[in-house]
């Protein structure tokens, strides 16, 4: 027989943090994270559910996973939920917010950094809190960006299929040394700074452009220049600024005209930074030598879904797919285990913080509402 002695339980490494305090003369222990919120998770893919369920072991929110994207057609599904959780293609427009509010929702938790899909003015008017995940893994996006550059340069996408078909010819696979090439980085925040650091490792020159300088990027030896000089001198141009009214179609006809012939253009930020029709014209004329995209202006109707048995109706996108010097990934730059874990944990913490009335630095400032 085992002795009937209670052995002290080992404190679990992932134990939930608690706060001790006095309440009415009694010592109380309050779980800092276990503020339960009834949350409708829209646009759920199996991987979202997996990471949110795992992270929720420390929070215990009541999560309901819904496949549809949030829109005026689906907003009624959120009736009675205090919080909704959404992603980049969900519609958080004025009519959607009005209906969410009328049905009792007070928090919209974005499981992403960008918030260009949210009508912040309406949210502020209704007193609804919008929270986001400002940084989940800038390295994930930066590393994917460099992956696009190398794949295009060394034509790894072609080599992969050729070798599988027993074609070992090198014709058409000629690349260039990265060493000594000039990379123009537009937007040198978290992601752009890491891209600059990685390509400095290849001994590239870096020209940077931003509305404010990042000393970390200057320390790498990058030089801040006006857009004109960046366009004129860069062999590779990579976009890492946010989508705001000032950056919509940043890469239009005038920008392409100023670029070096044969330039490589990379966009892993937001599709609308590029005027796709202009870029197609640039590809046809040879002015643009390579195009690598992880985002596309009309991606909301395409990306994150398996459309392999359907006819794609977007002729502009279909035209892009015909070029031998274009590669497109479907908004996957963020998609690493580390980023998914951070997204899930931060999203659930944001929801708990708002519900508990704690300071939450991930609330989007209503002052950022478009004028
Ligand atoms: P960040 O806020 O750290 O950096 C953005 C930088 O852009 C800042 O330094 C800002 O000053 C600069 N900027 C603002 N306006 C500008 C302008 N007019 N011209 C030039 N620079 C300007 O953001 P981040 O974390 O580096 O993310 C950058 C972008 O990447 C996000 O806005 C988002 O759209 C995109 N993103 C994409 C993915 C993906 O999976 N493809 C994932 C996360 C983020």
Same domain, 42 and 174: no
H helix count then E strand count, the chain: 12, 14
Q: Look at residue 27 and tell me whether its pLDDT is greater than 70.
A: no
- C-beta neighbour count of 352 within 10 angstroms: 23
257: which 2 tokens? 């005209």
Q: Whose CA is nearest to atom 25 of ligand 1?
A: 190
User: 369 alpha carbon to ligand 1 midpoint, in Å?
Assistant: 17
Catalytic hit among 61, 111, 144, 331: 331
Same domain, 120 and 99: yes
Domain that holds residue 316: 138-328
Whole-model pTM over 0.85: yes
- Ligand 1 pocket: which residues have CB below 6 Å? 113-114, 135, 138, 141, 186-192, 209-212, 240-243, 246-247, 268-270, 294-295, 331, 333-334
CA distance 99 to 324: 46
278: which 2 tokens? 């202009």
Same domain, 245 and 118: no
CATH of the domain at 310: 3.40.50.720
> To which H or E segment does residue 98 belong?
helix 94-102
**Distance set, CA 229 to CA 112, 205, 246, 249 (Å):** 33, 13, 19, 19
**Distance set, CA 323 to CA 168, 269, 292, 329, 340 (Å):** 22, 21, 11, 14, 32
Q: Which residues pair with 41 in a beta bridge?
A: 65, 85
72 is a domain residue = yes
Average pLDDT over every residue of 7-14: 41
- Confidence band of 34 (pLDDT split at 50, 70, 90): low
Q: Whose CA is nearest to atom 28 of ligand 1?
A: 240
Domain count, the chain: 2
SS3 assignment, position 352: helix
Ligand 1 atom with the smallest distance to the CA of 334 is: 40
Same domain, 128 and 154: no
| Span 322-357, pLDDT tens digits | 999 999 999 999 999 999 999 999 999 999 999 888
Residues 6+ apart with CB under 8 A from 265: 236, 237, 251, 259, 274, 279, 288, 290, 291, 292
């Amino acid at each position: 027989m085992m002795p009937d002695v209670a052995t002290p339980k080992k404190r679990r490494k992932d134990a939930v943090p608690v706060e001790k305090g006095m309440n009415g003369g009694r010592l109380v222990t309050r779980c800092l994270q276990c503020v339960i919120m009834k949350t409708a998770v829209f646009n759920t893919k199996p991987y979202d559910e997996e990471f949110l369920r795992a992270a929720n072991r420390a929070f215990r929110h009541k999560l309901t996973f819904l496949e549809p994207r949030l829109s005026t057609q689906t907003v009624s599904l959120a009736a009675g939920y205090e919080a909704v959780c959404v992603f980049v293609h969900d519609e958080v427009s004025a009519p959607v917010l009005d209906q969410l509010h009328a049905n009792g929702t007070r928090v919209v938790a974005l499981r992403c950094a960008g918030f260009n899909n949210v009508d912040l003015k309406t949210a502020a008017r209704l007193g609804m809190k919008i929270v986001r995940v400002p940084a989940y893994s800038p390295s994930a996006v930066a590393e994917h960006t460099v992956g696009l550059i190398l794949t295009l340069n060394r034509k790894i996408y072609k080599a992969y299929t050729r070798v599988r078909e027993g074609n070992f010819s090198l014709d058409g696979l000629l690349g260039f040394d990265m060493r000594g090439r000039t990379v123009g980085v537009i937007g040198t925040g978290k992601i752009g700074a890491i891209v600059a650091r990685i390509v400095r490792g290849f001994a590239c020159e870096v020209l940077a452009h931003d509305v404010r300088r990042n000393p970390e990027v200057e320390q790498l030896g990058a030089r801040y220049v006006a857009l004109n000089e960046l366009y004129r001198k860069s062999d590779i141009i990579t976009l890492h600024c946010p989508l705001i009214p000032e950056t919509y179609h940043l890469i239009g006809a005038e920008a392409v005209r100023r670029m070096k012939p044969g330039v490589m253009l990379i966009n892993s930020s937001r599709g609308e930074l590029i005027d796709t029709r202009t870029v197609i014209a640039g590809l046809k004329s040879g002015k643009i030598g390579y195009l690598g995209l992880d985002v596309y202006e009309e991606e909301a109707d395409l990306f994150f879904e398996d459309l392999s048995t359907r006819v794609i109706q977007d002729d502009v996108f279909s035209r892009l797919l015909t070029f031998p010097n274009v590669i497109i990934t479907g908004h996957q730059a963020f998609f690493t285990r580390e980023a998914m874990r951070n997204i899930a944990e931060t999203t659930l913490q944001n929801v708990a913080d708002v519900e508990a009335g704690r300071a939450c630095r991930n609330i989007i400032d209503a002052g950022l509402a478009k004028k």
